[in-house]
Amino acid sequence: MQGLIIQMLEGTVTSLKIFFLTLLFSLPLGFVVAKGRMTRIAPVRWIVDLYIQIMRGTPLILQLIFVYFAPFYIFGASYDRFTACIVAFVINYSAYFSEIYRSGLQSIDKGQYEASKVLGFSKAYTFFHIILPQVIKRILPALGNEVITLVKDTALAQTIGVAELFRVAQTASSREFSTVPIFIAGIFYFVMNYIVSRLFVIGERKLDYYR
């Protein structure tokens, strides 16, 4: 039993790596995508829109397989599964985050930009000090949903052979002819998401000082 728990904790570390690396890259990248989606340059907008449609319109599990195996079939070269897994998660989640950012950015009254301009703030100052704080407050609930989904989605990494928590649990389960490891994995995911959702509640409360 102790051995099982240790194996599962190791799997959890892999799951957490996927989780944090995905957030690290896709949270900022989502902004770039959102900007591309809102640009006045039509061809850029179309391409970005198509990308978002594909990411949202096809299963993540399929995207994982594609990202891992496509280079092999096209170039005859294969690469690290973990890297492939991070790439697939990042391009998928950037698309989802970008749509959340876009809704947040578009909900800000244009008067905020005009007041900033008249007061002499630069474009960058306006974005980081006036617009972004208000966007974050508005999108936090939607972002929380997405981040919780990400915790659970990390289980899909096993499709391309990454030994994350769920993979470890399944392997142990078939080895021991028991569903207990799967059940324990469920508790692990639940605890992780409990922490994530508490953090978001704290964040929302912190930003509750204004309307």
Partner 1 sequence: MIKLTGLRKSFGGTEILKDISFTLDRGNVLSIIGPSGSGKSTTLRIITQLERADDGTLEIAGSTLFSSVDGKAVYAKPDEERKIGLKTGLVFQSFNLFPHFSVLRNITEAQRAVLHRTKEEAEEKAISLLRKMGIEDKAKQYPYQLSGGQQQRVSIARALALDPEVLFFDEPTSALDPELTREILKVIRELAEEKMTMAVVTHEMHFARAISDWAIFMDKGVIVEEGAPDELFGNPKEERTRKFIASFED
Specify the residue, 134 or 145, whose C-beta has the smaller distance to partner 1: 134
Give min distance, CB of 39 to partner 1, in A: 20
Say whether residue 145 binds partner 1 (CB under 8 A): no
Instruction: Measure the CA–CA gap between 165 and 185, rounded to whole angstroms.
Output: 7
Question: Pattern of binders to partner 1 over 56-95, x per CB under 8 A?
Answer: ----------------------------------------
Say whether residue 120 binds partner 1 (CB under 8 A): yes
Token couple for 190: 């639940």
Task: Single out the residue of 200, 39, 139 nearest to residue 131, CA to CA.
Answer: 139
Task: Single out the residue of 58, 78, 59 nearest to residue 68, CA to CA.
Answer: 78
Q: Please list the alpha-helical segments (H only) found in the chain.
A: 2-38, 42-57, 60-75, 81-106, 110-118, 123-125, 132-153, 165-175, 180-206
Stretch that binds partner 1, among 40-48, 123-131, 142-150, 179-187 (CB under 8 A): 123-131
Report the interface residues with partner 1, using CB under 8 A.
Answer: 109, 111-112, 114-115, 117-121, 125, 129-130, 133-134, 137, 209-211
